[in-house]
Structure formats: structure tokens, C-alpha cells
Amino acid sequence: MEYNENRGGKKTPHKKQFSFNSCTKNTIKSLREVEYFLNNLRNFTRCMHLYKFFKK
């Protein structure tokens, strides 16, 4: 028997309880971030079209 075996086992980490409210808040936050990104992407593509048009 080794010395470390006698010291006891490691404690398992505490499991988080499922919280529906925090889950919905995170989902809404993620959807807003995606919407913001898509709006910025649309503005970026418009700017690129204008840039290509005026570059010619």
C-alpha cells in the first residue's frame, strides 16, 4: 500500500443546479449578439459594394 492511498479520495466538484431563468437570460443574450452581428455584417457588405462601385 502506498502512502498517498491512505489520505482519502479527492472531493468531486459541486454540480450546478439547473436554473431555467439563467438559461433563458443567456439564450436571449446570445440571440441579441447574433442579431447585432448580422446587422453589422449587412452594413459591411453594403460598404464593400459601394467601395467596389466607386473603385471602378
Q: pLDDT for 41-55, tens place per residue?
A: 888 888 888 888 888
Count helices and strands (H / E) in the chain.
1, 0
Q: Which residue has the cell 440571440?
A: 31
Mean pLDDT of the residues in the chain: 79
Residue 52, φ and ψ in degrees, nearest 5: -65, -35
Q: Using a pLDDT cut of 90, give the percent of the chain over it.
A: 9
> Structure pTM?
0.50
Using CA atoms, how far residue 8 sits from 1, 11, 41, 49, 55, in Å, is 13, 9, 55, 67, 72
What's the pLDDT band for 3 if we cut at 50, 70, 90? low
3-state helix, strand, coil in the chain (%, to 5): 70, 0, 30
What is the reported pLDDT for 8? 61
Ordered by start, the domain boundaries in the chain are 26-56
Better pLDDT: 7 or 34? 34
